[in-house]
Amino acid sequence: MFNGQKILPAARGMKDFEKLLTTSYEYIVVLDLHIAQIKNIMKMAEQYKKKIFLHVDLIHGLQSDTYATEYLCQEFKPYGLMSTKANVILKAKQKGVIAVQRIFLLDSGAVDKSYALLERTKPDFIEVLPGAMSFIINEIKEKTKIPILAGGFIRTVEDVERAIEAGTTAITTSNRELWKYYEK
């Protein structure tokens, strides 16, 4: 999956995104962007043959709902969409776009609520946050049978390796040092 890419670099702005265009990374997550930047980002991604995951909840000027999801899928055709919201995930799947359900593991109650959400949305991937909680990754993967991405508080190569050993498909990170370390 992801052509062996262990890291899905997460760009926190245009400067990060432009830097990632000239790397060997094929799959890129785009966070914190303005609605007016989407067209340019998708055009640049196409030129550099990059596959883009847009984080719907972090697009400024766009409400993360089914209408926004439909608009993004039809107008820009991203490789994937990420969101904490069930309606976004369901619409992305309906439109044939890879859907990544983000879940926050705050406590055992949040984990139980996440299982119920995942049963309803059946996303293509789950992004577990914080991803440094590798001890629970394998449990979630076994229980849901859905591939896992890990993000949040992954700061070292050891954190990445622990998450991968626990069953994570890839790591999402905005840590530039980790981008450099794992670039082919």
| pLDDT for position 65 | 97
How does the average pLDDT of the chain come out, rounded?
97
Neighbours of 22 (CB within 10 A): 8
Average pLDDT for residues 31-50, to the nearest whole number? 97
From 1, 29, 14, 3, select the one nearest 179 (Cα to Cα): 29
| pLDDT for position 66 | 97
Asked if the bond preceding 9 is cis, omega within 30° of 0, the reply is no
Q: Is residue 21 packed enough to be buried (19+ CB in 10 Å), middle (13-18) or exposed (0-12)?
A: middle
Could you tell me where the beta strands, DSSP code E, fall in the chain?
Answer: 7-11, 27-30, 33-34, 51-55, 59-60, 80-83, 98-104, 125-129, 148-151, 168-173
Average pLDDT for residues 31-54, to the nearest whole number? 97
pLDDT band at 184 (very low <50, low <70, confident <90, very high): confident
Q: For residue 115, is pLDDT > 90?
A: yes
| pLDDT for position 14 | 94
Domain ranges of the chain: 2-182
pTM metric for this prediction: 0.97
- 164 and 141 in contact (C-beta within 8 Å)? no
Specify the fold of 2-182.
TIM Barrel (3.20.20)
Average pLDDT for residues 26-34, to the nearest whole number? 97
